[in-house]
Structure 1
Amino acid sequence: MNKILHMLSSFFSKSEFDLDGYHFKNEYKKDKNNVLLDVRTVTEHDSGSLPSAINLDFLSSSFSSSAAALPKDKAYFVFCRSGSRSSSAVSMMRKMGYNSYNLVGGIGAWPS
């Protein structure tokens, strides 16, 4: 029963800024000014990332100030390993006035 409640809660708590891999990739590719933002650690990023993604470690103490330095005239398509850190990053960035989207399921959800 708890699993069912958890699944329902997860389903209904998704925001319009949480995109599955297909929609995330398609929306990202609509505008050449869109930015892929990898919020994994430097080690994770260096072990393999999406083409042209910039790395801004969400777990770093400087994430907020680094994010605040990003241009606000771009849309940010944010991903991590599982979708958890990127969801938190998108929430924070949206509160700062950024147009940002989360890849639900993380980098593994990016369609080939």
Structure 2
Amino acid sequence: MFDFFKPKKNYENLSATAFNQLLNEMPNAVLIDVRTPQEFRQGAIENAINIDLMSNDFSQKIAKLPKDKAYFVYCRSGNRSGSACKHLGNNGFEQVYNLSGGIMSWSF
């Protein structure tokens, strides 16, 4: 009823299947794992870069990324990556995709 009070979501949540398909269709896309370095070392999606959402320099690292690329973001369960996607969208990134369910939903 009062949708105008809801903030506009500036990223898209995708299932693992849709995330994988769209990622493969965009060869210049950037895949970002926002988990801790320790979690990243335990296993990550191929070609992902690690930018820890909880690090002190997360915002500075994100600010250095080109805004004309598509960004696919994931974490363990989809919560941290959702926060990271919101941050990206709020800072002018237009093509931002969150892996719903995180790497726990990944089977590719």
Give the TM-score, by structure 1 length: 0.83
Correspondence 1:109 to 2:83: no
Q: Tell which has more relative contact order, 1 or 2 (C-alpha 8 A, sep 6+).
A: 2
Correspondence 1:40 to 2:35: yes
- Determine what percentage of the aligned residue pairs are the same residue: 45
Runs of 4+ in 1 over 2 A off after TM superposition: none
Q: 1:70 aligns with which of 65, 74, 81?
A: 65
Say if 2:28 and 2:70, in contact at 8 Å, map to a contact too.
Answer: yes
Matched length:
99
Query: Aligned partners of 1:90 and 1:43: how far apart in 2?
Result: 21
Q: 1:30 aligns with which of 25, 31, 46?
A: 25
Q: CA deviation at 1:42?
A: 0.5
Query: Aligned partners of 2:59 and 2:101: how far apart in 1?
Result: 23
1:48-87 equivalences in 2 (<5 Å): 48-87=43-82
Alpha carbon RMSD of aligned pairs, Å? 1.5
Q: 2:83 aligns with which of 88, 94, 100?
A: 88
Flag structure 1 segments of 5+ consecutive residues without an equivalent. Answer: 1-13
**Which secondary structure state, in structure 1, belongs to the residue aligned with residue 87 of structure 2?**
helix
**Which secondary structure state, in structure 2, belongs to the residue aligned with residue 49 of structure 1?**
coil
Residues 64-99 of structure 1: CA distance to partner in whole angstroms, max 9, x if unpaired?
111010111110100000100000000010011112
Name the structure where helix makes up a greater proportion of residues.
1
Note closer, same or farther for the CA distance 1:74–1:82 as it changes in structure 2 (3 Å cut). same
